[in-house]
Amino acid sequence: MEQTPPETRSAPRRRQPEILRRRLLDAAAALAVGGGVQAVTIEAVARAAGVTKGGLFHHFPDKEALIDALLRDLLDLFDAEIDRAMAKDPEQRGCFTRAWIRATLDPAIAASAPLNAVLLMNTRMREVWSDWLRARLLRHAATDSDPWFSVLRHAADGFWLADLWQVQPDLRAPSATIRDQLLALTLKEPGP
């Protein structure tokens, strides 16, 4: 009896739950951006990700859990960017605000603006966002509680909204210019 050489035997299929979970989140994000949260149905997400509804339910028990995971995924990305920027900052005072400005005006993060906007139209998602923000502000109160830093973070948020609304470039300064000016202002005491 002839045996198949080991290198030609097909390997058992390995399950890759994180890859499938990522595909499901990416499919749900595309649907949400294209048609709002109402377009994110179990059937549509499963079809777009190329999995069965059972495969989707293995990762997310219902639509609400999927939508919640979408927002938490974005918050994790934003958090990671903030943590990276803070780790590189030699100046403690205002370090969270500088990291916020960098992350908010980072083109890769800004690319998620349409999805953020869609998700934050949902009351429950705004509560998740508010809880996340409250925890970050409390964590960094020792370095960033000055109201001046809040003003600078809101300025960065405003520029983010201008990107979301696709304000014409000739009506605003370039993102890098705004970022650099806001970062410089974090190192100064606010004037009268």
- In 89-173, alpha helices (H): 95-104, 107-110, 113-119, 123-139, 141-144, 147-164
21 part of a folded domain: yes
191, part of any domain: no
Give the global pTM: 0.79
Does residue 106 sit within a domain? Answer: yes
Cα separations (Å) of 31 from 25, 26, 39, 131, 186? 10, 9, 6, 26, 38
Is 169 contained in some domain?
yes
Give the count of domains, the chain: 2
The structure tokens 């979408």 sit at 70
92-144 pLDDT tens trace = 999 999 999 999 998 877 777 778 777 778 888 889 999 999 999 999 999 99
Q: Given this model, what pLDDT does residue 79 score?
A: 92
19 and 79 inside one domain: no
Q: Is residue 22 domain-shared with residue 115, that is, in the same domain?
A: no
Domain region containing 171: 62-186
